[in-house]
């Protein structure tokens, strides 16, 4: 099934633009799949924030990221795209990252050109590794993959550190090194997004993260501009924790949760998402023996 999922993702981006909401755990991934989306995104920030209560500054290890990805891949049948940060080291470490992510059932990863400690792509004060070093990482990633359908996406943060032209140059050099797609982080206008698409001939990924530097655009506009993958890294997490914070404030003030019950997922809805019926079918099959 893993190989089929990887091929499916490549087919989807060759035919149009794919919306890929971010899942911060396996249950959120199931909700994304149940809502009808064709793929799931696993954000490094979502992992650091929701699972470990940490800022997104490169504190999560490879083994922690792989285990998180494995659980999400096991929970859904759609392709899973994972944020692999800087690859957790140099080119040789990136090669192992690819091997481990492939074994976990991941369909695609993106790798970025920041130095550690890294920062959210929409914050200031980032630093980049030299272009040659980034290209080496991409070459190492491509050499390490066993399944040719495993998608390797090069993310460059150059627009927010050096220049737009440097971002274009890094992207094209990564494509020459074997990258399958490009993720230009933190472009600041529709015009920049269009210009990047004109100068970089490859499947492109757009990051529609809220409160960032890139304008939030509808899917049809992004498709018109030439972007083939659109991620929403923290949309579900921000919505969930916004609601959780408001509920807890009311619970503390009022002493009960009655005002929130109508906004909650019901027990039946949760059980449907968890596929309790599927588990019951297995139990019945065991009993019949």
pLDDT score for 2: 82
Mean pLDDT per 10-residue segment, the chain (289 residues): 91 97 98 98 96 94 98 98 96 97 98 88 87 98 97 97 97 98 97 98 98 97 98 97 97 97 95 82 67
Which positions are catalytic? Answer: 41, 56, 83, 85, 110, 112, 120, 155, 185, 207
Q: What length is written for the chain?
A: 289
DSSP conformation class of 215:
P
CA distance 212 to 93: 30
Tell me which residue has tokens 């809805």.
269
pLDDT score for 124: 82
Q: Which of 150, 174, 195, 168 is nearest to 4 (CA)?
A: 150
List C-alpha distances in Å: 166 to 76, 136, 184, 204: 38, 17, 11, 16
CA distance 65 to 47: 8
pLDDT score for 229: 98
pLDDT score for 84: 97
SS3 39: coil
pLDDT score for 157: 97
Domain locations in the chain as residue ranges: 2-234, 241-288
CA 28 from centroid of its chain's CA atoms: 13
CATH number assigned to the domain covering 2-234? 3.20.20.60
The H-assigned helical ranges of 118-189 are 131-144, 164-176
pLDDT score for 281: 65
């Amino acid at each position: 099934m893993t190989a089929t999922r990887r091929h499916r993702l490549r087919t989807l981006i060759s035919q149009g633009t794919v919306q890929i909401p971010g899942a911060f755990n396996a249950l959120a991934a199931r909700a994304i799949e149940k809502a009808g989306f064709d793929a799931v995104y696993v954000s490094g920030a979502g992992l650091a924030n929701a699972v470990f209560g940490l800022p997104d500054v490169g504190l999560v290890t490879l083994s922690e990221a792989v285990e998180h990805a494995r659980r999400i891949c096991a929970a859904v049948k759609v392709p899973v795209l994972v944020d692999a940060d800087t690859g957790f080291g140099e080119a040789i470490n990136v090669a192992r990252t690819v091997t481990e992510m492939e074994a976990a059932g991941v369909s695609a990863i993106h790798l970025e050109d920041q130095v550690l400690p890294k920062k959210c792509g929409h914050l200031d004060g980032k630093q980049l590794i030299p272009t040659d070093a980034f290209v080496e990482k991409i070459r190492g990633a491509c050499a390490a993959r066993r399944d040719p359908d495993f998608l390797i996406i090069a993310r460059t943060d150059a627009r927010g550190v050096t220049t737009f032209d440097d971002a274009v140059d890094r992207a094209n050099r990564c494509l020459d090194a074997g990258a399958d797609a490009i993720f230009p982080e933190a472009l600041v206008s529709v015009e920049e997004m269009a210009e990047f698409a004109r100068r970089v001939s490859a499947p492109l990924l757009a990051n529609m993260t809220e409160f960032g530097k890139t304008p939030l655009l509808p899917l049809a506009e992004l498709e018109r501009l030439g972007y083939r993958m659109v991620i929403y890294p923290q949309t579900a997490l921000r919505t969930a924790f916004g609601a959780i914070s408001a509920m807890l404030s009311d619970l503390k003030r009022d002493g009960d949760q009655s005002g929130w019950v109508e906004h909650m997922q019901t027990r039946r809805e949760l059980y449907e998402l968890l596929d309790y019926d599927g588990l019951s079918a297995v139990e019945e099959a065991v009993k019949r023996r």
